[in-house]
Structure 1
Amino acid sequence: MTQPSSPPSQRVAVLGAGPMGLAVAYQLVLDGHRPVVFEADDRVGGMTAAFDFSGLQIERYYHFHCISDAAFLQVLNELGLSSKMHWVATKMGYWYQGRLQPWGNPMALLRFKGLGWIAKFRYGLHAFLSTKRDDWKPLDHVDAVGWIKRWVGAEAYEVLWRRLFEYKFYDYSSNLSAAWIWSRIRRIGRSRYNLFKEKLGYLEGGSQTLLDALKAAIEAKGGEIRLSSPVSRVVIEEGCVRGLQTASGLESFDKVVSTVPLPYVPRLVPDLPAPILERFAALKNIAVVCVIAKLRKPLTENFWLNINDPEMDIPGLVEYSNLRPLDPHVLYVPFYMPGEHPKYRDTDEIFLSKVRSYCMKINPALTEDDFVDMRASRYRFAQPICEPGYLDRLPPAALPVPGLWVADTSHYYPEDRGISESIGFGRLLARSAAAAKLADSPT
């Protein structure tokens, strides 16, 4: 019997070596293709990349894993890393009216000081039903603030939600998709292993363990990863992708898959049809200045601390050491804001000073001497701003140019940006790109 022939091997350029780009390249090499990954940074990882924090290799931006992260857990198993995954019963807190309170379970809600009984009931019912909902499409064109207010009421919105919106999205907070916010409620709600306890996960060595394994698997199967190699242009000739322009000149590829933030696309692919370029230009993103600190002692016992305090311009902070054991204690404090906001131009020291002040207010036992080291990292396109009807505005990943696919974390809307979502979408993107018919050669 004649065996079916294997699909021809394709030479595919992958732009960006974050989790999505690595997942694209990983799936391509598994399927017998020859990807070349181009990364402008000097390391793989994107927002998951690690840095040397005074002898500790750790991510510049915090990451955690939920028991529902199927794509992430699958790739760990394929790479032989499952034994390095650890699950921890974590706690959540709420800083409100100068008081640190437990949060994140029904008993904490009932005991929460500063909220009436009716408001507590409405808030709890909304959270419970959100974790049970699967069909998000009815929420796609719904405004998030109005949706939440209708469910929880004005009192619970004011106490528990308003500042979280305003100190992450600022002027955009009144025009966000309810489907997008719902997905965040559901993900954390489904991380519980019972009604009263949540369980989150960390990987030994952090995200770098996965990044290194993906890089090694790609290279072992014939793929190539080029670091410190920015791409200046995706070359389109006669309506089809022909290759890339880099510092080394023009390099030909069968196909190009871009996973860099969408705001870079008009500059990278200026020859796209004007209506497509306009859709990319209209997309908005939130920036982040993320402070990471080493402390001699814990700030609280919580992994995540929500904050509603008129003297603190943050929606919350993450005590990473209450998930992954580290010594000294490690804390992340993200300041989200639109990239055009004047505050984004403030010096690092301004943000470091705020963190010291906020931490000593939350835990008066802390002193200046307890801050062993602090750093600030910035990312201009940290998160897309998903307005109602976001899918209608988002250009499709398969653009109307044969041989070209463009996607970032926006494309798995309404899910929040995350390693698992990026891996799952990246593998689907690789299969889609590989299955598409190759563009004919120019005549």
Structure 2
Amino acid sequence: MSKKDPCIAVLGAGPMGLAVAYQLTLDGYKPVVFEGDDRVGGMTACFDFNGLDIERFYHFHCTSDHDFLQILDELHISEKMCWVQTKMGYWFRDELQPWGNPIALLKFRGLGLVAKVRYGLHAFLATKRKDWHSLDTVEATGWIKRWVGKEAYNVLWRKLFELKFYEHTPNLSAAWIWSRIRRIGRSRYDLLREKLGYLDGGSNTLLQAMKAAIEERGGEIRLGTPVREVIIEDGSIVGVKTDSGIDLFDKVISTVPLPYIPLLIPDLPAEALTKYKAVKNIAVVCVIVKLHKAVSENFWLNINDPEMDIPGLVEYTNLRPLEEHIVYVPFYMPGTHPKFRDSDQVFLEKVKRYLKKINPEITDEDFIDIRASRYRYAQPICEPGFLNTLPPVALPINGLWVADTSYYYPEDRGISESIGFGRMMARDAVA
């Protein structure tokens, strides 16, 4: 780095922050990454689950994840990518039914023929749609009801919304929902077969490769070092404050969740601070279970059951084979919801009861281990016109860029999207 090159701090070592730092090192810079956790990864970080190194929160990959696949090539770990034909199921009226393809839809017990045709047509056209802008200001539940009708909405969609977004259900962006339908719909062999992917070794394979690439090129990653404040003087970045003192930087690129920004950068213009404070987020309590016995043959299981307060679960080992059976059961809710204050034990007991109901052959002896992980700001609540409510990524402070997963709306949060956006932000910061 020459004398004229800026000193750059990156806040957050999740996939977006690592992608920022990785791209900066490719362009000849030596960034310093600050991460409050004791490991890289953010929501993709792994932990020791009774002898198994695995993500706290589940992840999968689609054939359309171009930025993710590109960085695997660059890091020479493409051979670690595995593609699997997966299955979906639907638990409805105390019955586990196949789901996820036209034949399963036609055979589904619980809908009339007209409702099935309308639902299938909507899913097909959403998958083929390319432009989202006309949906940007459209409310999602109304959009879906107009296409599929009341019957299909109540059976197949209502619980998915209400058990994730609760009181925010009536004010979500149709563009955001459309992007989720399209992503899964495009990751198929054909109409009848779904194809999803995983990395051998899990997300940690990518995280450690990115970390190594950053450090080999002179970048630095400081784990267990949360930034307490970004220092601004006379409209320009001066540095960052940690528990060890103040480090001087010319530029700061933040990838931490937006709700933290008013605390980290209190000297921002009042308009920007107001917009950050207005962003609402969904929290998650994600229970991960290790079992002797499979719950089902499905990777993803949608659930509509009045006795279960979850919209679905993920049987991860039906994607990535492991010695024991791994199931993720996420409880989504606004962070302000009283349920988020329930103890971990409340969620663990619910999950045991739910799994035994879905598969009565599962007994208490089949549970090897069970844990719960929490993330307060797991996902932004994207209202119609969401992107226009956010401050610009390049703020009116010389040397400051701020973004998180909210900024690649209408795409849902994902590793590939975070990598692509992070690399773009890094290029813009040094252009």
Q: Do the aligned residues in 2 keep the contact of 1:50 with 1:208 (CA within 8 Å)?
A: yes
Q: Do the aligned residues in 2 keep the contact of 1:279 with 1:394 (CA within 8 Å)?
A: yes
Distance 1:232 1:84 in 2: 37
Distance 1:400 1:154 in 2: 47
- Give the aligned partner of residue 286 of structure 2: 290
Deviation for aligned residue 1:7: 11
What is the CA deviation profile of residues 192-228 of structure 1, one whole-angstrom value per residue up to 9, with x for unaligned ones?
A: 1111000000001000000000000000000000000
- Give the aligned partner of residue 83 of structure 1: 79
SS in 1 for 2:395: coil
Deviation for aligned residue 1:248: 1.7
Closer/same/farther in 2, CA of residues 422 and 7 from structure 1, 3 Å limit: farther
SS in 2 for 1:242: strand
Deviation for aligned residue 1:402: 1.1
Alignment of 1:183-198 (within 5 A): 183-198=179-194
Distance 2:27 2:296 in 1: 47
- Give the aligned partner of residue 11 of structure 2: 15
- Residue 136 of structure 1 is aligned with which of 128, 132, 149? 132
What is the CA deviation profile of residues 212-266 of structure 1, one whole-angstrom value per residue up to 9, with x for unaligned ones?
A: 0000000000000000001010000001111111112111111000000000000
- Give the aligned partner of residue 377 of structure 1: 373
Alignment of 1:267-278 (within 5 A): 267-278=263-274
Deviation for aligned residue 1:9: 2.9
Distance 1:385 1:395 in 2: 16
Unaligned runs of 5+ in 1: 1-5, 436-443
Distance 2:250 2:237 in 1: 8
* Aligned amino acid, residue 134 of structure 1: K
Distance 1:98 1:137 in 2: 39
What is the CA deviation profile of residues 85-136 of structure 1, one whole-angstrom value per residue up to 9, with x for unaligned ones?
A: 0000000000001110000000000000000000000000000000001100
- Give the aligned partner of residue 216 of structure 2: 220
* Aligned amino acid, residue 219 of structure 1: E
Q: TM-score, length-normalised on structure 2?
A: 0.99
Deviation for aligned residue 1:10: 2.5
* Aligned amino acid, residue 369 of structure 1: E
Distance 2:4 2:203 in 1: 33
Deviation for aligned residue 1:391: 1.2
Unaligned runs of 5+ in 2: none
SS in 2 for 1:66: coil
- Residue 340 of structure 1 is aligned with which of 320, 336, 340? 336
Alignment of 1:102-117 (within 5 A): 102-117=98-113
SS in 2 for 1:65: coil
Aligned-pair identity (%): 72
- Residue 263 of structure 1 is aligned with which of 238, 242, 259? 259
- Give the aligned partner of residue 49 of structure 1: 45
- Give the aligned partner of residue 440 of structure 1: none
Q: TM-score, length-normalised on structure 1?
A: 0.96
The farther-off stretch of 131-140 and 391-400 is 391-400
Distance 1:223 1:275 in 2: 34
2:397 is the alignment partner of 1:401: yes
SS in 2 for 1:365: coil
SS in 2 for 1:241: strand
Deviation for aligned residue 1:46: 0.2
- Give the aligned partner of residue 235 of structure 2: 239
Distance 1:314 1:400 in 2: 42
Distance 2:110 2:391 in 1: 44
* Aligned amino acid, residue 158 of structure 1: N
Deviation for aligned residue 1:403: 0.4
Deviation for aligned residue 1:8: 4.8
- Give the aligned partner of residue 27 of structure 2: 31
SS in 1 for 2:91: strand
Distance 2:224 2:58 in 1: 24
RMSD: 1.1
